[in-house]
């Protein structure tokens, strides 16, 4: 995923530094304590082990084909926690260390801050649509049902509540038929409601414009679009893609909003598609036949949708 390259580099650099630092502490704890000007304590070795474990997690994140920005976000929060701890220690306990120890602690803190900034930039870049102010997240899964069967379920816009437990109600306004121009209203279990206008609808693909301008719109976006596509799988079954393009609100918190949004989407949509696949199997068999085997759904590691910037979506609607 080209847009994730910056994040991968930042995570790998952080992993390399954390592993080297942790290994040095584990191998020569007494020497490290001497440089700092403190007596050796087992906590120092525990810190080294923690750094190595942290480095392994960072390396695992960076080498996944489908990078998970929420994992990078929590690693960044831990880095910022280290920086905050460094500031507190140097401000209140600097007299406990040698001059070399103070410089060493400050230098490590500065490097960790640099990694946190690089990871934050990488997270934002991974979601940002090139040449646009908008961000995007998408989920792509493979399911062992035919595209035709899956599309019949997905195209029933008003029935999304049947497959999404977080919703208490969903319906097309005015009892209209699913299609371009239909407006779907959803209400979640917390009583929050929003509407989605269908702006594109053809066999295997649909797009929705969330009415983000409405009072009480519950999502952190000033403008938001989404869509579903169903395509034949390479080895049978179907690829189901769900995507969102949005302008986060406030824009300055996009680096936090998008990883949280992505975490919820990855978890929820996979289960939604699983329930849809079960319904598609039931419909294809008919009530007079025995139930079809439980569907198999898996989240795909590869990037799942071409970048669609907000400006492109607006131009298509013009």
Residues in the chain: 318
What gap in Å lies between CA 187 and CA 171, rounded to an integer? 9
User: Which DSSP helix (H) or strand (E) runs through 33?
Assistant: helix 29-36
Please write the tens of the pLDDT for every residue from 238-294. 999 999 999 999 999 999 999 999 999 998 999 999 999 999 987 765 544 444 556
Q: Report the pLDDT value the prediction gives residue 66, as an integer from 0 to 100.
A: 85
Evaluate the omega torsion of the peptide bond into residue 250 and state whether it is cis, within 30 degrees of 0.
yes
For every one of its 318 residues, what pLDDT tens digit does the chain have, with 9 covering 90 and above? 557 899 999 999 999 999 999 999 999 999 999 999 999 889 999 999 999 999 999 999 999 888 899 999 999 999 999 999 999 999 999 999 999 999 999 999 999 999 999 999 999 999 998 888 899 998 988 999 999 999 999 999 999 999 999 999 999 999 899 999 999 999 999 999 999 999 999 999 999 999 999 999 999 999 999 999 999 988 889 999 999 999 999 999 999 999 999 999 998 999 999 999 999 987 765 544 444 556 666 665 555 555 555 555 665 555
Q: Report the pLDDT value the prediction gives residue 131, as an integer from 0 to 100.
A: 81
User: Which CATH class for the 135-317 domain?
Assistant: alpha beta
What gap in Å lies between CA 281 and CA 131, rounded to an integer? 41
User: Which DSSP helix (H) or strand (E) runs through 183?
Assistant: strand 183-188
All structural domains of the chain with their residue ranges: 2-127, 135-317
Sheet with 221-232: strands ordered across: 167-172, 183-188, 193-202, 205-210, 221-232, 238-248, 135-143, 297-299
Q: What is the pTM of this model?
A: 0.85
The first and second tokens of residue 122, run together, are: 């990488």
Please write the tens of the pLDDT for every residue from 200-240. 999 999 999 999 999 999 999 999 999 999 999 888 899 99
């Amino acid at each position: 995923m080209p847009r994730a390259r910056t994040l991968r580099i930042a995570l790998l650099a952080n992993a390399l530094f954390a592993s080297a630092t942790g290994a040095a502490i584990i191998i020569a704890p007494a020497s490290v304590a001497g440089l700092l000007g403190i007596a050796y304590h087992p906590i120092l070795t525990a810190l080294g082990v923690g750094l190595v474990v942290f480095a392994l997690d960072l390396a695992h994140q960076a080498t996944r084909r489908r990078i998970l920005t929420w994992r990078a976000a929590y690693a960044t929060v831990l880095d910022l926690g280290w920086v905050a701890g460094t500031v507190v220690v140097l401000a209140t306990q600097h007299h406990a260390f040698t001059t070399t120890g103070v410089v060493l602690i400050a230098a490590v803190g500065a490097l960790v801050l640099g990694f946190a900034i690089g990871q934050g930039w990488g997270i934002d870049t991974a979601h940002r649509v090139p040449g646009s102010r908008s961000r995007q997240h998408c989920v792509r899964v493979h399911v062992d049902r035919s595209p035709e069967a899956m599309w019949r379920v997905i195209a029933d816009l008003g029935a999304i509540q049947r497959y999404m437990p977080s919703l208490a109600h969903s319906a097309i306004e005015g009892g209209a038929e699913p299609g371009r121009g239909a407006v779907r209203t959803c209400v979640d279990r917390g009583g929050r409601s929003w509407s989605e206008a269908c702006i594109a609808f053809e066999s295997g693909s649909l797009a929705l414009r969330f009415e983000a301008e409405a009072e009480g719109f519950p999502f952190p976006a000033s403008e938001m679009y989404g869509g579903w596509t169903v395509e034949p799988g390479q080895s049978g079954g179907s690829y189901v893609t769900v995507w969102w393009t949005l302008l986060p609100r406030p824009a300055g918190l996009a680096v936090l909003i998008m990883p949280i949004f992505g975490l919820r989407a990855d978890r929820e949509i996979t289960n939604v598609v699983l329930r849809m696949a079960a319904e598609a199997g039931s419909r294809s068999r008919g009530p007079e036949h025995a139930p079809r085997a439980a569907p198999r759904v898996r989240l795909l590691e590869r990037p799942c949708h071409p970048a669609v910037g907000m400006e492109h979506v607006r131009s298509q609607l013009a």
